[in-house]
Amino acid sequence: MTDTIHPPRTGAPADAQAAATADGGSRKLTRSIGVVGGTLLTLSCVTPASSLFVIVPDLFADLGTATALTIAIGAVLCIAVAFCYSELGTLIPSAGGEYAMVGTLAGRLTGWVVFILSLIVVMIVPPIIALGTADYLAPLFHMSAPLAGALVMLLATLAGLLDLRANAWITGVFLVLEVVAAAVVAVLGFAHGERGASTLLHGVNAGDGGATTAVSVGAIVTGLAIALFVTQGFSTAVYLSEELENPRRNVARTVLWTLAISAAVILVPVAAITVGAPDLKTLAEGDIAGMVTTWSNSAVGTFISLCIALAIINAGIVMVIQNSRVLFASARDRAWPEPVNRAFSTIGRFGSPWVATLAVGVPGAVLCYVPVEDLSGITGVAVTGMYLLVAVASLFSRRHHHKHTPAWRMPLWPAVPVLLIVVLAYVLWQQTGQDLLVTGGIVAAAALYWALYLRPRQATHWVITLPEDERV
């Protein structure tokens, strides 16, 4: 790879550091949370209940009883992804997340591509999830989906302006309610079982006229892109690495604990819903709150609906926090024209990058009024591509001086990233041409920006910096 950066401990070349000083000095986030707080925030970004109640129903429509199997395969793949994130996140603890890790190890252009893929995810996903709020608030309030989604995004933006420790506890309380809701669904589903557990391994779905159809292997492979997205939020631990105490130790713990807990919280209720749905048509419709009401009563159904609404709000808060850190880091690394860099890197009185937070939350509220139903496939392609490039970068994590840098090291390297690259490339190959073309078009436009603006200014722009940190 060419154009690879091998930064010193501070990570920035002299002229980039001088430019930063001219803008008012180095801007730092505060290390204020440990493994528990980081896990609460990261779990809230995975939003197990939000994924379960908003994203999984679409998988039920396409995969029927093979949904749990597909998510389980995705979770196994995510173990390999988590190994890569854990090693790179402790080797390169930066709020830039994937782009800082990949750009430092595999070159600036590759890091820029990863940054654009992450932007696709972080700008589109929050409004998509927020739009589900209206359906679950229906027992108490009636409002349009765009209005409800926009209000959720604005509320999440206000919460994102607070300091990270406060948000860890806010999202922690919401997370408890999420887990309770998922547990209630699991208990009710298993208690009203209509089919055996073996159904989970034999994919069938409701066909035309009520007939059952087998779910093909190709459909399962195609569904893996969305299944990877279901547990995608465990990577938030990497974005928080500049605010985690002892990042060389705590980033890996947070990533792996989050993946294990979120996979269990999602998979167990999915299995329960699959065996407990009254029939395959009801399962394909994915009305989980309606099934809960059928299994119990309207009061329990209302409780679950409100818990889901809180889960969506929780997801919005943490996604705004995560995404604002990405913009903050990109401005600190001078990815934009100077006025934009100065604005996005401004830290407010609560220790949060307030301009970057507004830049994420306000457009998210506006996007709630734009049809985004077709964008889930694009998001799946972006997540899969991002994971693939992180796996590629992990092959460079033990070269040169990185080999001796204190960091958590994954087992079975390099077999794990190599196998992951092969599988993810195949998953991408199975996605629809439209999703691949749209995502590829965005990446191509970003590459043009790189060629015309960033590369000619490479001495001072898109210089991936690493903060000073205690190597404990």
Mean pLDDT in consecutive groups of 10 residues from the start of the chain, 472 residues: 36 43 48 70 71 83 88 90 88 78 89 89 81 75 83 86 63 77 91 86 71 81 82 74 72 84 90 90 85 86 82 78 80 87 82 85 86 72 91 89 81 92 90 87 93 90 68 40
SS3 content of the chain, % helix, strand, coil (to 5): 70, 0, 25
Looking at residue 220, what is its pLDDT? 86
Q: What stretches of 333-468 show up as alpha helix (H) in DSSP?
A: 338-344, 354-367, 375-394, 415-429, 433-449
Report which DSSP code applies to 215: P
Residue with token string 């919460």? 159
Looking at residue 144, what is its pLDDT? 84
Looking at residue 392, what is its pLDDT? 94
CA pair distance 97, 329, nearest whole angstrom: 9
Looking at residue 346, what is its pLDDT? 83
CB-based contact 1:396 (threshold 8 Å): yes
Topology annotation, domain 34-457: Amino acid/polyamine transporter I (1.20.1740)
Distance of CA 272 to the CA centre of its chain: 25
Collapsed DSSP state (helix, strand, coil) of residue 402: helix
What are the tokens at 110? 């590759």
Looking at residue 391, what is its pLDDT? 93
Looking at residue 398, what is its pLDDT? 87
How would DSSP label each residue in 314-360?
A: HHHHHHHHHHHHHHHHHHHTT-S-HHHHHHHT---TTSS-HHHHHHH
CA pair distance 192, 416, nearest whole angstrom: 40
pTM to 2 decimal places = 0.75
Collapsed DSSP state (helix, strand, coil) of residue 213: strand
CB-based contact 453:335 (threshold 8 Å): no
Q: Name residues whose C-beta falls within 8 Å of residue 114's C-beta, 6 or more positions apart in sequence.
A: 98, 99, 102, 103, 386, 389, 390
Looking at residue 452, what is its pLDDT? 93
Burial 350-379 (b: 16+ CB within 10 A, else e): ebbbbbbbbbbbeebbebbeeebeebbbbb
Helix (H) or strand (E) holding 206, with range, is: strand 204-206
CA pair distance 224, 3, nearest whole angstrom: 33
CB-based contact 50:308 (threshold 8 Å): yes
CB-based contact 33:165 (threshold 8 Å): yes
Q: Name residues whose C-beta falls within 8 Å of residue 110's C-beta, 6 or more positions apart in sequence.
A: 1, 102, 103, 389, 392, 393
